[in-house]
Amino acid sequence: MSELHVRQIRAALEKELRAHIDVSDVENRPLDEQMNIFLTRSQMAYVLMYLASVTPEDAAKAITDGFSDNGIDGVLYQASERILYVGQSKWRNDGTGSIDRGEMQKFLKGLRDLTNARWERFNDKIKAKSPDLEAALNDASTRIVVVVAYTGQEPLSMEVGQDLQDIVSELNDPTELVTTQILRQTNIYSAVAQGIQGSPIDLEVALYDWGQVREPYSAFYGQVSAADIARWYDQYNNQLFAPNIRMFLGSTEVNTTILDTLQGSPQDFWYFNNGISALCRTIRKKPIGGNTRENGIFECHDLRIVNGAQTVGAIASAAQKNPDSVALARVSIRLVSLESCPADFDRKVTRYNNTQNRIDRRDFVALDIEQERIRGELQLEGVAYVYKSGETLIPNQSGFGLDEATVARACLQTDVALAVQAKREIGKLWEDITKAPYKILFNPSVNGPGVWRAVQIVRQVEAELTQIRTSAQGRERLLTIHGNRFISHLVFQCLPKEVLEAHQAIDAAAIRLARSLTISIFQQILQLLDAHYPDAYLANLFKNSGKCQHIKNIFDS
C-alpha cells in the first residue's frame, strides 16, 4: 500500500497547493527535478496547514526551501499563539526510508543558526522573514515546534533520532520551549484522508463516576483517564480544540505545575486540576454498563474542547515522558450536547469558560500585611504602589506595581538564582507568601523607599538596553531582551553601597552610573557568551541558574 499512499498524498498536494507553491527558481531544471522540488515544498506547506490550521496561501509563504536554505524548508510564526514552526521536508517517491543523518545534521545546524538570529547564513527567503522571526525569538514565551516530514514509512533511525533529541534537550534546558512533530507517510496520509479542516471528531469516551444534567440543556460529567486524553491529542493534535480558544502554550507557569503533578503525584491530579469542558453535536450513552453510574461509554459526535487546552497539552507532554504515571491520573470532564441548544450557545460556552473564575498566584500576595505597609510608606513619599489584582496607576502618576517591585527586589539579591527565577517564572516568587523565596524579597526589613529606588535603577538598566537594541542585531539584540534581568543583577552588584541604600529618589549621578555600568556589563557578557556559550539559545540560557552562575563567576574573576 506504500506506493498507493504516496500517489494519494501527491494528488492531494497537487490539488491543494499547485497554484500556491513557488518553483520559479528551478524552472530551468529537468521536469522530474522540478516536480520533486514542488512535492518537497508542498509537503512542507501541507503539514503546516495541518498543524497550524493556516490557509494554503499562508502555508506557501512559509516555504524557504531553496539554495542556501541552511537545511530549513519552512518557517511559520503564529504570533497570536506564540508558536514558531521550523521544518524540514523530504519527498520520497517510493515511500521508503526516512531522513538520513546528513540531512538531519544540516537541518539542526540551521536550527541553531536560526535560534541565534544569524541571518547572514540563510537565503533571501528566510532573511525576508527575519522581522517575524526576530519577534518570535525576542519573546521568551515562544514555543518552537520542530517539524520533520517525509513520505517514507520507516521511523527515524536511532542515530538520527538521537541527534534530534540532543539539540532539543539542549534548547529545553531548563524549561521546555521546544517540541518535535515527526510526520512520516502514515501521519501525512492520515491528514490527507481527514482533510485539512478535519472531519468531525467522533470519540467513544469512557466516563467514571459519571452524572447527567437534563435541563435546560443535556450534559454529562465525570472522570476520564488521562491516558485517554493523551491518545486523543496524539491522534488529533490541535484539531481537538475549538478554533477560537488558545492552543497548548507549552512550558508556561500553569503547565509546568500540571506536568509536575502528573509525574510526581498522578493520583492527586483530579483534586488539583479544574478539568476539561467539551461541546459535542450529539452525545449517546452505549448500553454497555447498564444504568450503573460507576462507568459508562458515551458516543460523542463532533467533539471540540472549549476549555482545558493547557491541561490536554500538558497531559500529552507528560505521557511522552512517563506514560505509566499518566495512566494513574484521572481528569474531570464536562460534555455538553448542542443538540437542543440555541444557535449561539456554543460561542457563549466557549467564551465564558475561558473568562470566568480565574485566579493567579499573585492574588495571594494581597494577604501579606508587609505589602500594605510598603504601600503606606510610599504614599507618604508621594509614590503610588499597587499590589492587588485589578488596581492600576492613574495616568502620569509616579509609582509602580507588584511585578516591577518583585523583579527589582529579586535582581538586588546577591543570589543570582532569584534574578533568574524572575526571568524564568515570576509567579514562583509569589508561590507561598509564608516562606522563601517570597520572604527573602518582602519581609519587615524591606522599606518602601528602598523598593522604589531599586525599581528606578532597573528602569535605567532597561532604558539603556532599549537604546542599545536600536542599533543591535542578531545575538546582541537577543541579549538586550533575554539577558535584561541578569544584567540588572550585575549592575546592582557593581553599584556602590551608598547608592543602593540612599532613601531619596534616584538622582542624575546615580542614573549616569547605572547606565554606564549597563553598557560596560552588556559588552562583557556578550564576549563571555561568544567564548563559552556560542550556540546557546539565549531565551533559555538566562532561565538557567547554573549557567548564569557560571557566567557570573567568570565575570567576577
Q: What is the chain's pLDDT, residue by residue, as a tens digit (557 residues)?
A: 578 899 999 999 999 999 999 999 999 999 999 999 999 999 999 999 988 888 999 999 999 999 999 999 999 999 988 899 999 999 999 989 999 999 999 999 999 999 999 999 999 999 999 999 999 999 988 989 999 999 999 999 999 999 999 999 999 988 888 989 999 998 898 888 777 555 788 999 999 999 999 989 999 999 999 999 999 988 887 778 865 454 555 544 456 677 788 888 899 999 988 899 999 999 999 988 667 888 999 999 999 998 888 889 889 888 888 899 999 999 999 999 999 888 888 877 877 776 544 446 677 898 899 999 999 999 999 999 999 877 888 877 799 999 999 999 999 999 999 999 999 989 899 988 999 999 999 999 999 999 999 999 999 999 999 999 999 999 999 999 999 999 999 999 999 998 988 777 789 999 999 999 999 999 999 999 999 999 999 999 999 999 999 999 999 98
Q: Using omega within 30 degrees of 0 as the cis cutoff, is the peptide bond preceding 131 cis?
A: no
* pLDDT confidence of residue 364: 82
**Would you say 245 and 354 are in contact if contact means Cβ atoms under 8 Å apart?**
yes
* pLDDT confidence of residue 354: 64
Alpha helices in 53-100 (DSSP H): 56-61
* Distance of alpha carbon 483 from alpha carbon 195, whole angstroms: 44
* pLDDT confidence of residue 141: 85
Q: Using omega within 30 degrees of 0 as the cis cutoff, is the peptide bond preceding 437 cis?
A: yes
Q: Cell numbers at residue 5, please?
A: 499512499
* pLDDT confidence of residue 360: 61
Residue 207 is which amino acid?
L
10 Å CB burial of residue 3 (0-12, 13-18, 19+) is exposed
Task: In the chain, count H helices and then E strands.
Answer: 25, 13
* Distance of alpha carbon 186 from alpha carbon 193, whole angstroms: 10
* Distance of alpha carbon 340 from alpha carbon 350, whole angstroms: 17
CA–CA–CA angle 208, 211, 213 (5° rounding): 150
* pLDDT confidence of residue 395: 79
* Dihedral sign from CA coordinates of 290, 291, 296, 301: positive
* Distance of alpha carbon 182 from alpha carbon 392, whole angstroms: 46
- The residue among 168, 173, 64 whose CA lies nearest residue 119 is 64
**Would you say 309 and 248 are in contact if contact means Cβ atoms under 8 Å apart?**
yes
Residue 146 is which amino acid?
V
What is the CATH topology of the domain spanning 2-194?
Restriction Endonuclease (3.40.91)
* Distance of alpha carbon 317 from alpha carbon 254, whole angstroms: 14
Query: In the chain, which segments carry CATH 3.40.91?
Result: 2-194
* pLDDT confidence of residue 251: 47
* pLDDT confidence of residue 53: 82
Residue 491 is which amino acid?
V
* Distance of alpha carbon 320 from alpha carbon 264, whole angstroms: 15
* Dihedral sign from CA coordinates of 461, 467, 468, 470: positive
- Helical axes 416-424 vs 402-412, angle rounded to 10°: 150
Q: Cell numbers at residue 350, please?
A: 466557549
Residue 299 has φ and ψ, to the nearest 5°, of -85, 115
* Distance of alpha carbon 434 from alpha carbon 552, whole angstroms: 30
* pLDDT confidence of residue 357: 45
What's 336's DSSP letter? E
